Structure 1
Amino acid sequence: MRRFEFSYKVDVPAVKGGSADSNSRRYGITDSSLAARNGYGLAAGAEAHPATPELGADEQTVLYGEGASSLDGRAVPQGGCIGEANRGLDAHSPKGADFTLTQQLGFTSFQQTQQDSRVRKVVRAWSDCMAGQGYHYANPLAPLSDPKLGDGTGADAIATARADLDCKTRTNLVGVSFTVESAYQQRLIEQRAELVKATKEARDARLRVADSLGQA
């Protein structure tokens, strides 16, 4: 972007773990101390995505490579600056990698887990437990999008979250779901072993290039 005399910078958020990590809510809320304070709300500072800069038409052309093939007499790289950057990152990567693989496997394993009879049984037990305390939800993800709980941080939401976690503890919902899904994930990894290996090698090669740029 500097080569085309544009200033382009995206703030990169600090890596956050624990309750700010989306995986911590894969089976609904799991953090009892956070739930006692915030209900279904996220911890302070848990915003995952920084704002992206506003771009003019020429900046979008250069960044994405969509539109004019040149700007002020200079050729726009194929795929724009993003395309050029990706080609540089992948210059030493093996062929056959798929950087969407982890998302694909994660989605597939989650779907398989939700259909598994052991998980369906424990979800029903959790739902019955919640009903016994006056809360009616079909599954542990339902409260996260319940409009009656507003932004998820009010008194009703906190009370619901406390019951939610109590029922998760009583039924061992998280333990059962995690164990079952881990087995499905392991099977998927074994079935796609060569693709997993190639993708890991390509990721490692990308990181080596990125590290060398950071040291330049």
Structure 2
Amino acid sequence: MRRLLPVALTGLLAVTACQSGGDTGADDARDLNTMESLPLHAYLPDPEAGGAKAVGRAQWILTGQCMLRLGFTSFTAFDVRSVESTYPVRQGTLTGGGRAGDDTPYGVDDPGPAATYGYHKRPGQESAAQPLEWSDDQYPALTGRFRSGDSRRAHGHPIPEGGCMGEASRKIYGAGPGPAEIGGVRLTGPYTVAMKLWADARTQARKDPAWKQADRAWADCMKEQGLHYPDPDRASADLAWFRTDKPSAKERKTAAADARCKLGTGYIKAVHAVETRAQKAAIDKNKKALEDRQAAHERAVATARKVIAEAS
């Protein structure tokens, strides 16, 4: 159904595997290795934009009011500024810190930093949203996520569906779309339509012969350096990298080779073209649903600003 990569590029992948190629095309490849370069990104709100920040602030305001209603008296003096740009985790949860993880769609793409930091986060890569620990009684009330032994009530009051944060989101966004399962994780919220389409498009794109050929060219390049992985995702997700806070020599070697092979084989350009086609097809089939969620976000921003004004 999708057209394959042009014959010239297909041949290029075969004959240039493992050739560094200097820096020619490297900047272009890195420009493509961003979430913003993919079509569905237009349907996800910018977390740094004023509207998204207003929604986040309003959600915490309403969450605090809900927690107070549930009997958490410490929320009488709740300072929203103390939790803005955070997300809740249960006390004692390991959050990863500087461990392995690259939030670019195709992983490491610069051999220099990769040789220093491996697959670990580099300085400046930290997300604006940071985890914040909450106690065992507060966390279920906040999130509506329960584990064995957790009560569905707080101080005698029933915890709303999705916890106080879920209730706050519904007040701002309305009912919203149903939950979606992405990578085995059940997600709810106003952006699940775009996120689910993104995940499904990636799954479909990876089945495309052009993507598989890019993986093979990359893997052949890695083999020449004594490294055996079928694709870049397997390399970056090697469990060995998650066992230490600092990258090992092997991790740094692997990451640097990974980046060189991506650039030398034209990997990023090849798979980006396939994924772009898959996302555009998803947008064409689901345009009304996506536009409805964009309109819902605009309404939510207006509602959020009213919440903030009333709380001021």
TM-score (normalised: structure 2): 0.56
The percent of aligned pairs where both chains have the same amino acid is 24
**2:225 paired residue number:** 133
Query: Residue 81 of structure 1: SS of its match in structure 2?
Result: helix
Tell me by how many angstroms 1:34 deviates: 2.8
Structure 1 segments unaligned to the other structure (5+ residues):
15-19
- How many angstroms apart in 2 are the aligned matches of 1:13 and 1:176? 35
Q: Which has the higher helix share?
A: 1
Q: Paired residue for 1:46, among 126, 129, 150?
A: 126
Q: How does 1:131-170 map to 2 (within 5 A)?
A: 131-149=223-241, 151=244, 153-170=247-264
Question: 1:214: how far off?
Answer: 3.6
Kindly provide the amino acid, as one letter, of the partner of residue 188 in structure 1: A
Task: Give the structure, 1 or 2, with the largest relative contact order (CA under 8 Å, sep 6 or more).
Answer: 2
Aligned to 2:195: 103
Correspondence for 2:286: 192
1:145 & 1:62 partners in 2: Cα distance?
31
Moved more, 202-211 or 186-195: 202-211
Residue 171 (structure 2) pairs with residue 88 (structure 1): yes
SS at match of 1:50: strand
Instruction: Could you tell me which runs of 5 or more consecutive residues in structure 2 were left unpaired when the two chains were aligned.
Output: 1-66, 87-99, 146-150, 179-188
Superposed, 1:104-123 pairs within 5 Å as 104-123=196-215
**Contact 2:119 2:252 survives alignment (8 Å):** yes
C-alpha separation in 2, matches of 1:154 and 1:177: 29
Question: Which letter does structure 1 place at the counterpart of 2:114?
Answer: A
Higher strand share: 2
What is the Cα deviation at residue 21 of structure 1? 8.6
Distance 2:294 2:265 in 1: 36
DSSP 3-state at the match of 2:107: coil
